[in-house]
Amino acid sequence: MGTFITSVAGVLVCQLLSGFYPGMSVAPDWQLGFLFGIGGFCGMYLGARCQKHVPAKAIKLILCFFVLIAAFSYIIAYLK
């Protein structure tokens, strides 16, 4: 709930600021925001439904794998 309130407040502030900076891209991208929202909702729903079928150790290994991939991609991009 805290993340939701913070996100709504951030979108409202950015929308209000867009009127003061007409030459800059400050306004939220509503279409992309709705797509991320739908994806997040589906992910939360499916994750909650599937959680009882996947052991905790497997979930931890999957999360570790994706965190390491992200970390290595940042390191490789930095070294290039």
Confidence check: pLDDT of 78 > 90: yes
20 band by pLDDT with thresholds 50, 70 and 90: confident
> Predicted confidence band at 70 (pLDDT cuts at 50, 70, 90)?
very high
Structurally, the chain folds into a number of domains equal to 1
Distances (CA, A) of 14 to 1, 2, 38, 47, 67: 20, 18, 21, 31, 30
Identity of the amino acid at 29 = D
pLDDT in tens, 24-47: 888 888 899 899 989 999 999 998
Give the angle subtended at the CA of 41 by the CAs of 39 and 46, to the nearest 5°. 95
Q: Quote the pTM value.
A: 0.58
In the predicted structure, residue 19 carries a pLDDT above the cut 90: no
Range of the domain at 7: 2-79
